[in-house]
Structure 1
Amino acid sequence: MSAPRRILVYAVYGAGKSTLAERLADRLGLPWYPVDDLLWQPGWVEVPVATQRSRIEAVCRRERWILDGAYHGWRDVPLGRADLVVGLDYPRWLSYWRLLRRTARRLRTREEICNGNRESWTSVLSRDSILLWHVTAFGRARRRMRAWQADPSGPPVVLFRSPADLERWLADLPGR
């Protein structure tokens, strides 16, 4: 397999999209554009969807990129340009455990997520909690990844059911 130049990493919240995108960027020498940086303003103010789409279109017009997500209103843009979609199709318990662990670390360390935003107890315990988002989005994300993989008209999709499967694939991926 020749090294892809435009990669969409996709999974439910907390599965490890950003971590994988960063690793792929280092391994392949591709620029990584963290989606959260493009979607959220300070104070967790969501960028309007039309602006999100415009920002994603600007990234996807480039010849080389990695995106760590694809959301409503513009999901078609990276899918239309990607050389490869990498999906983390992990069991619910694993992705939820990773999300819980990451959320606890971010609460403890006050780690900045994007544009000055941080997780807080208020956000974690709210109706808009990322923990609740995971519960409601898991099945949709899984069905979407599997449908993309089955669609011969779209970009190639590799799905990983376990971190060990992903590590084996990464070991065989050509580097820079």
Structure 2
Amino acid sequence: MTQNHAFPPLIGDEEGRFRIRIVGNSGSGKTTLCKELASILNIPALSLDELHWQPGWKETPADELREKVEDFIQQNASRGWVIDGNYSKKGGLIVQERATDVIWLNPPLLLYFPRIIIRTLLRLMRLRPPCRPGCNERFREVFFSKDSIIWWCLTNHRSSFERNSALMEIWGLGVGSRAQKMRRLGGWGAELRDWLKSVRELARNR
């Protein structure tokens, strides 16, 4: 789908700064990758999930979330940043336009669906902190609600693929018609590991 091998691991801007957006289905590893890239590149990180969810699973209004995203981007304009999350109607499009690099995590559902089940069970048993303070998961909501993160992950896999495939037609490296900056990382983990190795080498040589 892409010609990733023909491009450096990250594009960046003309001054060597990286503004990275990470997209993908729930459970695909966006936040984990966001934190790892922030550490490797020494740039600030932001998770849109953390902005979106307030205690008691209340949703941040769209205007407020977009304002917080804009503030984060402006405050870190001189350093670069990495932001994970979709939320296209609540700030994601702002991130998409400002990013120098867009990373689409697209592993097989069989790889990450068990991972999100285990993560959710650990949160239910209070063996892992909630995704946000005050947003504890409950058994009934996890297994018997249409808003369950497990149900969302399962049913959103196809739509996430279609949505990001459409973005690849616009932004994709070697594919897109606009600023080519979107990269798909799929497979069972080797592709992501190899790419991160290249990012570390890039960071060491800066």
In the superposition, the TM-score normalised over structure 2's length comes to 0.78
For 1:106 and 1:154, locate their aligned partners in 2 and report how far apart those are by CA, in whole Å: 40
Residue 45 (1) aligns with residue 45 (2): no
Corresponding residue to 2:30 among 17, 21, 26: 17
Paired position in structure 1 for 2:197 = 171
> Structure 1, residues 60-86: CA drift from partner, whole Å, max 9, x if none?
333221111121423211011001011
1:25-174 → structure 2 map (5 Å cutoff): 25-61=38-74, 62-63=76-77, 64-73=80-89, 74-108=91-125, 109-125=127-143, 126-151=145-170, 152-162=177-187, 163-173=189-199, 174=202
What does residue 3 of structure 2 align with? none
Distance 2:88 2:11 in 1: 28
Once residues 122 and 51 of structure 1 are traced to their aligned partners in structure 2, the CA distance between those partners, rounded to angstroms, is 30
1:86-113 CA-to-partner distances (Å, cap 9, x unmatched) read 1111112222122112112222215132
Quote the Cα distance in structure 2 between the aligned partners of 1:171 and 1:53: 33
Unaligned runs of 5+ in 1: none
Structure 1 residues 147 and 40 mapped into 2: Cα distance closer, same or farther (>3 Å)? same
Could you tell me whether the CA contact under 8 Å between 1:37 and 1:115 is conserved in 2? no
After TM superposition, which residue ranges in structure 1, 4 or more long, deviate above 4 angstroms?
none
How many equivalent residue pairs? 176
Alpha-carbon offset, residue 149 of structure 1: 2.0
Whichever residue aligns with residue 104 of structure 1, its letter is L
Q: Which one-letter code corresponds to 1:42 in the other structure?
A: P
Cα root mean square deviation, aligned:
1.8
Asked if 1 retains the 8 angstrom alpha-carbon contact of 2:24 and 2:86, the reply is no
Structure with the greater alpha carbon radius of gyration = 2
Higher mean alpha-carbon deviation, 133-142 vs 149-158, is at 149-158
Structure-2 change in CA distance of 1:155 and 1:98 (3 Å): farther
For the 8 Å contact 1:33–1:67, the answer to whether it is kept is yes
CA separation of 1:141/1:154 partners in 2, compared to 1, >3 Å: closer, same or farther?
farther
CA–CA distance in structure 2, aligned partners of residues 38 and 155 of structure 1: 28
Distance 1:35 1:142 in 2: 19
Shift of 1:3: 6.4
AA aligned opposite 1:66: V
Q: Which runs of 5+ in 2 are unaligned?
A: 1-7, 13-17, 171-176
> How far is the alpha carbon of 1:154 from its aligned partner?
4.4
Residue identity (%): 31
Q: Distance in 2 between matches of 1:143 and 1:71?
A: 15
